[in-house]
Amino acid sequence: MFVFVSDYKRILNGDLDDEILKSRSLIISDHMGSFDVGLYNSLLNYLEILNFKGIIETEYIITDELRNRYKKLKLQFSLYNSTHFRLLDQLIDYNIHPEIKYKNFVCSFNGSPHVSRQLLTSMMEKFDIFDSNYSSKNFKNTYNQINGQLENLGLSSTQKRMYGKFLSDNDKFLNTVYSFDYTRFDHNANINTLEHKLTSSFVHIVSNTLATGYYPLMCEKFLYSVVTRGLFVSYAQPNWHFFLEKYYGFKKYNKIFDYSFDTIQNPVERLIKLLEMISKFSKLTVNDWNDLYLIEQDTIEYNYNHYFSKTYMDYLKQHE
């Protein structure tokens, strides 16, 4: 018998009886608090200490590296039992999008104030690529708050001093909420709110959940660009784009984008490398952007068809 847990903290807080946990299998929804640089996770650590013998179904793809980290646990990727699958499937009826007509360089949609989203929006403003007509920031913060986060992200004192220069110190920007009519998890409504921002922007920076973690969690937000036939890169965990291609079958836009940032372990260094990579395109004309789009059009069409035909499911089923 399975126990479905939508909030992993319920287990860590002792809300589920340990004896019950020992005798059943678990379906853990969402990110489980993510993984640290050593690929340790607080929930899995706790279950290992409990000597949990059941199956643990999770939304994470389970690689040999992760399985070897937790040899005593029976980890299994969950597709049909996961919130992730239901979210992936929400845009399947959206098949008509506005014409691609560039007016803007980049869009990015940032809801909850996780550290990674605070870093992303702050650096976008510093790089002068945050346009509040096309990008959102649904939270307020200060330079000192964001700069203080660098203390917890595995940087040397010199790196913290240097990377702090890439953070916005614009008080008006930081203390302002830039929001659209967006409802968390209601992707049917949200795509209609955001479609013109997506099709008017050359590239979408996907703001993933817990991008300061160290093991890829494949959120559904990249699909906003797939279904509107757009270009995207994700600020996510290291090797996120590699996982998307290998385990989901969606292709990268290798002809124009350099994905070397994807392999960088540290989240701050990875973000700066990502922004450096795309910033060069900001100096180009609309005609240039249109031509670059055509260079990647075959890949864009492949990803569009890959989603609507649900062939990505054939990839995922191999890893259940």
pLDDT tens-place string over residues 302-318 = 999 999 999 998 998 88
**Confidence class for position 85, pLDDT limits 50, 70, 90:** low
Both 155 and 61 in one domain: the answer is no
Sign of CA pseudo-dihedral 187, 177, 203, 237 = negative
Last residue of a domain, one of 57, 78, 99: 78
319 and 77 Cβ atoms separated by less than 8 Å: yes
Q: Given 34, 56, 78, which residue is the final one in a domain?
A: 78
Cβ-defined contacts of 257-260 (< 8 Å, 24+): 257/231, 257/233, 259/233
Residues 92-114: pLDDT tens digits?
889 899 999 999 999 999 988 89
Do the domain assignments include residue 175? yes
Q: For residue 293, what are the domain limits?
A: 90-317
**Closest-CA residue to 276 (of 172, 163, 197, 200):** 163
What backbone phi and psi angles, to 5 degrees, belong to 275?
A: -70, -35
Query: What is the gyration radius of the CA atoms in the chain, in angstroms?
Result: 20
Residue type, 312: Y
**Residue after which a domain boundary falls, among 47, 78, 109:** 78
51 and 117 together in one domain: no
As a whole number, mean pLDDT of residues 286-297 equals 98
Distance CA 134, CA 162 (A): 29
Residues 43 and 117 in one domain: no
The pLDDT of residue 10 is 81
CA 59 to chain centre: 13
Contact criterion met (CB below 8 Å) for 180 and 83: no
Q: Is residue 149 part of a domain?
A: yes
As a whole number of angstroms, the distance between CA 19 and CA 17 comes to 6
pLDDT tens digits, 187-244: 778 899 999 999 999 999 999 989 999 999 988 899 999 999 999 999 999 999 999 9
Number of structural domains in the chain: 2
pLDDT score for 107: 98
Percentage of the chain lying above the pLDDT 70 cut: 95
Closest to 122 in 3D by CA, of 133, 104, 108 = 108
- Judge if 27 and 94 occupy the same domain: no
Question: pLDDT, tens digit, for every residue of 255-279?
Answer: 999 999 999 999 999 999 999 999 9
Residue 118 has pLDDT above 80, yes or no: yes
CA distance 293 to 281: 12
pTM (2 decimals)? 0.94
For the CA atoms of 206, 209, 210, 216, the dihedral, rounded to the nearest 10 degrees, stands at -80
- 193 and 245: one domain? yes
